[in-house]
Chain A
Amino acid sequence: MPSLGNILQLGIKELRSLAGDPAMVLLILYAFSLSIHTSATAVPESPHRATVGVVNEDASALSWRLIDALQMPYFLPPESITREQMDTGMDSGRFTFTLDIPPDFQRDLLGGRGAEIQLNVDATQISQAFTGAGHIQQIMNAEVAEFLARHRAEPVMPVEAVIRTAYNPNLDRAWFGAINSVIDQITMLSIILTGAALIREREHGTIEHLLVMPITPLEIMLAKVWSMAAVVLVASALALRLVVQGWLEVPVRGSLELFLLGAALHLFATTSMGILFGTLARSMPQLGLLIILVLIPLQILSGGMTPRESMPELVQQIMLAAPTTHFIQLAQAVLFRGAGVAVIWPQLLALAAIGAGFFVIALSRLRRSLQ
């Protein structure tokens, strides 16, 4: 039976060690304040300030009208270019989109002969290319339709489509970006703190000292888990209140307490992962690399940066083993959709199960590595 007193004392020791490293404390403060703010506001709406070059060979009322329709903040004011500049401008990355409006464009349309606009998209600009192209197409179609409607009586649309966006009516990127950034920091910090604390004990010989005391590996591990999880939990609760709700003015619909419960379970899993890495790595440099190799996929493939639906089935399945996947789903449901336990229990369960899995593996590795 593990001794709660020992776990408490060892955990307090971890907290003291952390407090004794002012640079680390500063970095944590930065990560949970400025860094979150910057990341949240960085994720632009798509398209946002997209660069467009236009070859206007028609120079008619309609063609100017089309160009004018590309407005901030979606598009930077389109630049007038020549046909030759289309290629070089895209090559150099100056334009993500180039439009070529052919001569006699307006006349052909009014004459009922139809006309073509060429829209070139820089496909390397991953996020803007597709949504931006769709956006431009829509704008062009709408403008042309309206223009024609004024010159000829057109039948109205037989069915109207109304878009209603729930939970984030203006699709404000900062809302999601802020939460996602908090989650990224939680994952990153908790893995690094526990993993590095373990390696440090080994490098400084203090782990050997612990082993001659009446303390079990389970107590050592539980102490690291609770103390580091507590630090991260407090930091993230403050970040949510002060940075996300206060500074960024993101309206949080759901219960912060429920989110923190999820975060605690998530931290159970990530701190266990940290300890596991600490037993796998032999030195701090190895640990640093291992952490990078794990953090990148966690950040990119958990559904925080791109939707899970856009990943191959196999990747989606594999990422189900990562706590971040479930935690991001949970965070979205709780904070934006105001979901309760009745809705998010599967995620809570998954987090607990993954955490338990990592904990057991890490504990057995810790036991073996300490022998």
Chain B
Amino acid sequence: MSPQQAAQVASIAGVTQRYGEILALDNISLDLPAGQMVGLIGPDGVGKSSLLALLAGARRLQQGQIVVLGGDMRDAHHRRLTCPRIAYMPQGLGRNLYPTLSVRENLEFFGRLFGQDGAERDRRIATLTRATGLASFTERPAAKLSGGMKQKLGLCCALIHDPDLLILDEPTTGVDPLSRSQFWALIASIRRARPEMSVIVATAYMDEAQHFDHLVAMDAGRPLASGSPAELLERTGTHDLENAFIGLLPEARRRQHHPISIPQRTACDSIAIAARGLTKRFGHFTAVDSVDFRIERGEIFGFLGSNGCGKSTTMKMLTGLLPASEGEAELFGQRVDPRDLAIRRRVGYMSQAFSLYGELSVRQNLALHARLFHLPQAEHEARIEEMLERFALTVVADSLSGGLPLGIRQRLSLAVAVLHRPEILILDEPTSGVDPVARDAFWRELVRLSREEGVTIFISTHFMNEAQRCDRISLMHAGRVLACDTPEALRKERGTDTLEEAFIAWLEEASDEPPADLQATPRATGSNAPQRDPPAFSLKRLMSYARRESMELRRDPLRGILALFGSVLLMFIIGYGISLDVENLDYAVLDHDQTTTSQAYALNLSGSRYFTERPALTSQAEMEARMRSGDISLAVEIPPGFGRDLKRGAVPEIAFWIDGAMPTRADTIKGYALGLHAHYLQTLARESGAPMATPGVEIVLRYRYNPEVESLPAMVPAVIPLLLMMIPAMLTALGVVREKEMGSITNFYVTPVTRTEFLLGKQLPYVAMGMVNFVTLVALSVWVFKVPISGSLATLGLAALLYLLCATGLGLLISSLLRSQIAAIFGTAVLTLIPAVQFSGMLHPVSAMEGISALVGQAYPTTHFLIITRGVFSKGLGFTELWPYFVPLLVAIPLLSLASVAGLRDQEK
């Protein structure tokens, strides 16, 4: 290795990456120095995130070469070797966290993935949480953390294994200034402790980038310039990076940018937004504590505060999304009423998280909103074009919005919020993650709306230069408003140089949380990260996934309850619901003869318990009509002259008309009818005293295994396999696809966990849960339904275990192949319900089937387990007789697992 190479943590050569029609990276070649803080800056959607994901090994490289930590990232072996040395924090607020798990559990999960033992984990978690100020929130579920706290937790998760390369994709987006400075201080102190660690960061904050060692400015999938911040300033002849950034852009882009000037606002006495003692409590937690403000029409009112201080909650109360616990909010002098649709038309709201339809294109999202807000039809086209233009969305107009970079999605949300020309705009951190040029463009639009159209703007932000532009700002902390005045007055009040300093001073004063303890910075444990090969298969990693999965299951007890009580309920329903003999079939007689003989024949039928007699028929037409309506399913037609013909020995014919619409029932009716007819003939013979035929054959019928022909003993052994297939398969089917949809699948891409470990780890908890289900069902059968087990319980238990491995394996296979949860649910229903109910011998034996259904039936695990349950329950069998049916299950388990492993990608496409 030459010294030149040694000095690089990553080198990128000729990389091109294309998603559909969008060229994300355009033949890019770049060397990134090692042991430094490298920043990627550039407008939204220029390929920064793509590049970071490629460096982390989370995405598959399409073209070119990327060498990270001395190895080719296309090589799966090298990726497995290096991924313990890389930490990757993807874009978005806590996308890779597990929302139902607590802060500690999230951290423990990552620690286990990297093979840390309990003591080491505890020590690292303690130092990391202290350093980030999360120490007092370790038991809070990730879902209940504010955006900034999620980012901090994401960083802790990334840092837990002492990486040599830290890749952060916009880590401070949406983080308040105080936390942001703590965040960078933390990274700086880690770097002091481990100078060999390289950090690659993408950021939209130029003031952050100012402090990096090396910057790469990107545009349109290519690097524009690289060098130290000082070099970039020099090259562009500017004083600050924000301007340097603009200066580096191509001429066309640069021309779109103008400095913002804010005209003086003329005071207005009408109040657009007012809050009086507005309070919101969640249980014992007070999120917003008697907040008051009055905002004039046309005012730009800034809302600043630390993460989780109640800004978003206040905004939601103003829009009517959340009811206030106390106090009141007014818009245009009217109390906020969530049912008032007219008010909604006058308000534009943009929430913190992207909440538009990712599966629709940018243009479709705009068009949908134009229609829903009832913009005049003639205006649609022009207004949508105007929005596309103003928010620089024209290029991506026909791309699916879900796949767009964060900054562009934010711009789309903004466009949607202002599309219908609302009189009030309530914007929750609208510019988080948006690049400086687009941010300024957006602010020009806000100023225009405020000054020219008198739109009232209520905006929260973490950017101090944006706060500076507001007419008034309000500082919030822990649910209370600390100060509210013009930016200049606030700065003067604290006597600081900048608004940011004033803001931080206020927060520090008000904060009762212990400040982040930077001395607690994690020290490197070894000289360097472990260089030895991570084991190809690690039970520890497998168990860390299994443990996490079962924790999530515990957090969602309703799922367990549904699975358990649901199967008990179903067993009752099916056990009692299907009885084996058909009774009370409706029939009617059409007696053309009306003699005592014919009436005697009819009487013979009405005595049967199988049939229920309905009013007699009078004509052929009536017979047809009543059969058509389903009123009767059997009509018995006695011909004219029946009595006479019988006496004369002319062999009259009785016609049995059977409704054949449902063939199984028709068969049963046919059987019963012929039986009754035979009975009549016997009675006739006895009564007439005529010599009956000599004794014929007597068939002695013995129903084996269920001599009384009861429903329960027949159904119970059949229901258990059905339930143990459907429920575990459904539970695992969502396992992988859910992570794909929510984004936490990235953890699997970039940690040393293998596909097998990942899948088995997800499977085990559900197998365990299935066994609990199995034991319950067996107990229920034996003690409640009184269907005893006549064979070997151990055999049944072993078979159930294997069967559950098949069922959960099938679910995982579906899950690893599909991409959406809806498809996984439907796929599971289609691929388990129908084969298990229809092809596996529950009602019709598999030997009776032909064609595809026979093939499916013979291969499907339910078929074999059903034979085993019936054998053990009803036939008193054990392993010696039933072992052949274990073989298909044993074959199916590895096949299903292999197919799932093959179906699961280990990198994003």
Residues of B within 8 A of A176 (CB): 661-664
Residues of B within 8 A of A303 (CB): 662
Answer yes or no: A165 CB below 8 A from chain B CBs. yes
Residues of A within 8 A of B368 (CB): 9-10, 12-13
Q: A119-B700, A122-B705 in contact; A157/B681 too (CB < 8 A)?
A: yes
How far apart sit A156 and B827, CA to CA, in the bound complex (Å)?
Answer: 59
Contact of A214 among B344, B570, B694, B845 (CB under 8 A): B344
Q: Is B651 a contact partner of A24 (Cβ separation < 8 A)?
A: no
Answer yes or no: B794 CB below 8 A from chain A CBs. no
Answer yes or no: B185 CB below 8 A from chain A CBs. no
Q: Is B660 a contact partner of A23 (Cβ separation < 8 A)?
A: no
Q: Is A21 a contact partner of B823 (Cβ separation < 8 A)?
A: yes
Residues of A within 8 A of B851 (CB): 38, 41-42
How far apart sit A316 and B714, CA to CA, in the bound complex (Å)?
Answer: 20
Q: A20-B400, A27-B827 in contact; A310/B660 too (CB < 8 A)?
A: no
Answer yes or no: A321 CB below 8 A from chain B CBs. no
Q: Is B583 a contact partner of A293 (Cβ separation < 8 A)?
A: no
Against B, the Cβ 8 Å flags (1 = close, 0 = not) of A85-128 are: 00010111100100000000000010011111111111111111
The smallest beta-carbon distance between B213 and chain A, in angstroms, is 38
Q: Is B829 a contact partner of A192 (Cβ separation < 8 A)?
A: yes
How far apart sit A44 and B655, CA to CA, in the bound complex (Å)?
Answer: 26
Q: Is A337 a contact partner of B628 (Cβ separation < 8 A)?
A: yes
Q: A44-B844, A158-B649, A301-B577 in contact; A205/B823 too (CB < 8 A)?
A: no
Interface centre among B655, B843, B844, B874 (most CB of A within 10 A): B844
Answer yes or no: B727 CB below 8 A from chain A CBs. yes
Q: A123-B709, A285-B559 in contact; A160/B652 too (CB < 8 A)?
A: yes
Interface centre among A24, A145, A338 (most CB of B within 10 A): A24
The smallest beta-carbon distance between A341 and chain B, in angstroms, is 12
Interface segment among A133-141, A234-242, A258-266, A350-358: the answer is: A133-141
Q: Is A10 a contact partner of B323 (Cβ separation < 8 A)?
A: no
The smallest beta-carbon distance between B11 and chain A, in angstroms, is 37
Contact of A17 among B359, B657, B842 (CB under 8 A): B359
Q: A288-303: which have CB < 8 Å to B? A: 288-293, 295-297, 299-301, 303
Residues of B within 8 A of A343 (CB): 625, 628-630
The smallest beta-carbon distance between A29 and chain B, in angstroms, is 11
How far apart sit A41 and B321, CA to CA, in the bound complex (Å)?
Answer: 53
Interface segment among B199-207, B276-284, B345-353, B477-485: the answer is: B345-353
Answer yes or no: A226 CB below 8 A from chain B CBs. no
Q: Is A17 a contact partner of B360 (Cβ separation < 8 A)?
A: yes
Q: Is A284 a contact partner of B574 (Cβ separation < 8 A)?
A: no
Q: Is A333 a contact partner of B703 (Cβ separation < 8 A)?
A: no
Q: Is A307 a contact partner of B582 (Cβ separation < 8 A)?
A: yes
Q: Is B709 a contact partner of A113 (Cβ separation < 8 A)?
A: no
Q: Is B698 a contact partner of A114 (Cβ separation < 8 A)?
A: yes
Residues of A within 8 A of B649 (CB): 158
Q: Is A297 a contact partner of B819 (Cβ separation < 8 A)?
A: no
Q: B358-394: which have CB < 8 Å to A? A: 358-360, 364, 368-369, 371-374
Residues of B within 8 A of A188 (CB): 826, 829-830, 833
Q: Is B663 a contact partner of A163 (Cβ separation < 8 A)?
A: no
Q: Is B845 a contact partner of A125 (Cβ separation < 8 A)?
A: yes
**Number of A residues contacting the other chain (C-beta, 8 Å)?**
154
Answer yes or no: B886 CB below 8 A from chain A CBs. no
Q: Is B351 a contact partner of A205 (Cβ separation < 8 A)?
A: yes
Q: Is A43 a contact partner of B562 (Cβ separation < 8 A)?
A: no
The smallest beta-carbon distance between A324 and chain B, in angstroms, is 14
How far apart sit A208 and B585, CA to CA, in the bound complex (Å)?
Answer: 53
The smallest beta-carbon distance between A222 and chain B, in angstroms, is 14
Residues of B within 8 A of A337 (CB): 627-628, 630, 659, 661
Q: Is A371 a contact partner of B338 (Cβ separation < 8 A)?
A: yes
Residues of B within 8 A of A124 (CB): 705-706, 714, 717-718, 870, 874-875
The smallest beta-carbon distance between A146 and chain B, in angstroms, is 11
The smallest beta-carbon distance between B788 and chain A, in angstroms, is 14
Against B, the Cβ 8 Å flags (1 = close, 0 = not) of A27-42 are: 1101100110111011
Residues of B within 8 A of A368 (CB): none
The smallest beta-carbon distance between A126 and chain B, in angstroms, is 5
Residues of B within 8 A of A150 (CB): none
Q: Is B577 a contact partner of A307 (Cβ separation < 8 A)?
A: no
Answer yes or no: B784 CB below 8 A from chain A CBs. no
Residues of A within 8 A of B323 (CB): 371
Residues of B within 8 A of A215 (CB): 341, 372
Q: B644-703: which have CB < 8 Å to A? A: 646, 649, 651-668, 670-671, 673-675, 677, 680-681, 684-685, 690, 693-703
The smallest beta-carbon distance between B174 and chain A, in angstroms, is 15
How far apart sit A188 and B875, CA to CA, in the bound complex (Å)?
Answer: 35
Contact of B674 among A121, A138, A156 (CB under 8 A): A138
Contact of B680 among A28, A159, A167, A168 (CB under 8 A): A159
Q: Is A114 a contact partner of B853 (Cβ separation < 8 A)?
A: no
Answer yes or no: B569 CB below 8 A from chain A CBs. yes
How far apart sit A312 and B596, CA to CA, in the bound complex (Å)?
Answer: 36
Residues of A within 8 A of B355 (CB): 204-206, 208-209
Q: Is A168 a contact partner of B849 (Cβ separation < 8 A)?
A: no
Answer yes or no: B542 CB below 8 A from chain A CBs. no
Q: A263-288: which have CB < 8 Å to B? A: 282-288
Answer yes or no: A83 CB below 8 A from chain B CBs. no
Answer yes or no: A51 CB below 8 A from chain B CBs. yes
Q: Is A120 a contact partner of B704 (Cβ separation < 8 A)?
A: yes
B359 (CB) vs chain A CBs: closest residue? A20
Residues of A within 8 A of B653 (CB): 159-162
Q: A177-210: which have CB < 8 Å to B? A: 181, 184-185, 188-189, 192-193, 196-197, 199-200, 203-206, 208-209
Q: A128-B848, A162-B656, A164-B655 in contact; A289/B823 too (CB < 8 A)?
A: no
Answer yes or no: B839 CB below 8 A from chain A CBs. yes
The smallest beta-carbon distance between B772 and chain A, in angstroms, is 15
Residues of B within 8 A of A289 (CB): 559, 562-563, 566, 727, 730-731
How far apart sit A306 and B854, CA to CA, in the bound complex (Å)?
Answer: 21
How far apart sit A190 and B634, CA to CA, in the bound complex (Å)?
Answer: 35
A306 (CB) vs chain B CBs: closest residue? B578
Q: B746-791: which have CB < 8 Å to A? A: none
Q: Is A315 a contact partner of B718 (Cβ separation < 8 A)?
A: no
Contact of A114 among B342, B627, B695, B730 (CB under 8 A): B695
Q: Is B579 a contact partner of A297 (Cβ separation < 8 A)?
A: no
Residues of A within 8 A of B690 (CB): 155
Q: Is B693 a contact partner of A148 (Cβ separation < 8 A)?
A: yes
Residues of A within 8 A of B720 (CB): none
How far apart sit A131 and B674, CA to CA, in the bound complex (Å)?
Answer: 12
Residues of B within 8 A of A28 (CB): 826
Answer yes or no: A336 CB below 8 A from chain B CBs. yes
Contact of B704 among A76, A123, A333, A344 (CB under 8 A): A123
Against A, the Cβ 8 Å flags (1 = close, 0 = not) of B806-834 are: 00000000000111111111111110011
Residues of B within 8 A of A125 (CB): 841, 845
Q: A126-B718, A176-B661, A200-B822 in contact; A315/B699 too (CB < 8 A)?
A: no
Q: Is B319 a contact partner of A212 (Cβ separation < 8 A)?
A: yes
Answer yes or no: B573 CB below 8 A from chain A CBs. yes
Q: Is A333 a contact partner of B629 (Cβ separation < 8 A)?
A: yes
How far apart sit A192 and B359, CA to CA, in the bound complex (Å)?
Answer: 19
Q: Is A155 a contact partner of B826 (Cβ separation < 8 A)?
A: no
Answer yes or no: A363 CB below 8 A from chain B CBs. no
Answer yes or no: A229 CB below 8 A from chain B CBs. no
Answer yes or no: A257 CB below 8 A from chain B CBs. no
Residues of A within 8 A of B877 (CB): 91
24 A-B residue pairings within 8 Å (CB atoms):
A13-B364, A16-B364, A24-B820, A112-B694, A115-B698, A117-B700, A126-B842, A128-B848, A130-B709, A158-B684, A159-B601, A162-B655, A163-B656, A193-B826, A205-B354, A212-B349, A214-B373, A288-B734, A289-B559, A296-B837, A300-B578, A309-B582, A312-B579, A339-B629
Given contact pairs A193-B822, A215-B341, A338-B628, a sample of 13 additional A-B residue pairs in the complex whose CB atoms are under 8 Å apart: A13-B364, A23-B827, A46-B664, A114-B696, A124-B714, A130-B709, A131-B671, A156-B651, A157-B681, A159-B680, A161-B653, A292-B730, A343-B625
